[in-house]
Amino acid sequence: MRSRSGAPLRTVICDQCGLVWSDPFPHDPRKFYEEEYRLDYKKTYAPKAKHILRAGRVAIERHDKIKHLLQSRKTMLDVGTGGGEFAYLMKALGHDIQGIEPNKGYAEYSKAQYQLNLQIGFVQDGDFAEASFDLITIWHVLEHTEDPCSVLGILRKLLKPDATLVVEVPNVEAVCQSPASSFHEAHLFNFNVQTLQKMGEKAGLHAVGHLLSTDGGNLTMFFQAAEAPSAANWTVAGNAERIGNIVKGHTNLRHYMRAAPYLRFVKKLQRAIAERNLSQQVADSKVLLDQLYREHRLL
């Protein structure tokens, strides 16, 4: 099997539970995410205007997913803060938010631009007091980590009683992307609802709900701390077969016979035109985000 970039990638699945991962890892995760990932993925050491706009729109979507949890002022932690667009929105809405980001370029940029309370590094090495957060978010980060169960266990310890951990990952069952884009060397682990829930249980969390994006590409799960890690059987009957059938059945012919890829192309083209027009008008990233968030009546 090959990755999205065309490079060889060995992807395996647990026949007992259905967890999918890269074996061996295609890179040293620590070195890759500290130094190389943003350059490989976005060809830049700091976000450009178009990246800020895209991430700002994503921040709005993420706010919509958790707004039911934001009825009062929260102490928050955002893991994998990236360019800081989501953390800045939460800060602007009055929440006491901290962040942590391993990529030095993006972390230094977001600290300087948005005056975020941000640590540079991996959450495994973060300096946070236990039971100190009402809400923790980790958006599209868990699949990049070398030991996702350990990361979930660390985050569990940081939750206050009755606090919520929000985890969003790509959905391995998704067919919205082309078959050639199903697996990526940056995504070390691949989850569906059942495997993410089971991994949470193993880390001492229990799922209280989940969402799937309209196109099925993203899985958002809401966890709270359990009294102790579960000792349950990790077998999920039929899950590996289910995932295998979906992946095998996601062929180029089936994909391009659907309207979705063409509508997606038109949407990307419209977005690119809007990004170009707005980024030419506004050069400052904070002003750019303020304008975007005001347009959506968040500020």
- pLDDT score, position 172: 98
- pLDDT score, position 284: 82
Is 6 part of a structural domain of the chain? Answer: no
Tokens, residue 166:
């929000």
Report residues of the chain scoring pLDDT below 70.
36, 38-45, 231-232, 274-283
Is 5 part of a structural domain of the chain? Answer: no
Q: Provide the CB-side half-sphere exposure for 156 (13 A, CA).
A: 22
Is 3 part of a structural domain of the chain? Answer: no
* 191: CB partners within 8 A, 6+ apart: 19, 20, 142, 143, 169, 170, 171, 172, 199, 219
Tens of pLDDT, residues 77-98: 999 999 999 999 999 999 999 9
Question: CA 26 → CA 2, 182, 221, 290, distances in Å?
Answer: 11, 16, 27, 39
- pLDDT score, position 32: 81
Specify the pTM: 0.92
How far apart are alpha carbons 254 and 165 in whole angstroms? 36
Is 44 part of a structural domain of the chain? Answer: yes
- pLDDT score, position 282: 54
- Buried b vs exposed e over 3-35: b needs ≥16 C-beta within 10 Å? bbeeeebebebbeebbbbbbeeebbebeebbbe
- pLDDT score, position 135: 98
Neighbours of 208 (CB within 10 A): 11
CATH number at residue 118: 3.40.50.150
Which single residue is written with the structure tokens 């539970």? 17
Is 284 part of a structural domain of the chain? Answer: yes
- pLDDT score, position 280: 57
Is 145 part of a structural domain of the chain? Answer: yes
Handedness of CA 112, 117, 119, 123 (dihedral sign): negative
Tens of pLDDT, residues 216-229: 999 999 999 998 77
Is 232 part of a structural domain of the chain? Answer: yes
Please state the domain count of the chain: 1
DSSP state of 69: G
Mean residue pLDDT of the chain comes to 90
- By residue range, what is the domain housing residue 238? 11-295
Is 157 part of a structural domain of the chain? Answer: yes
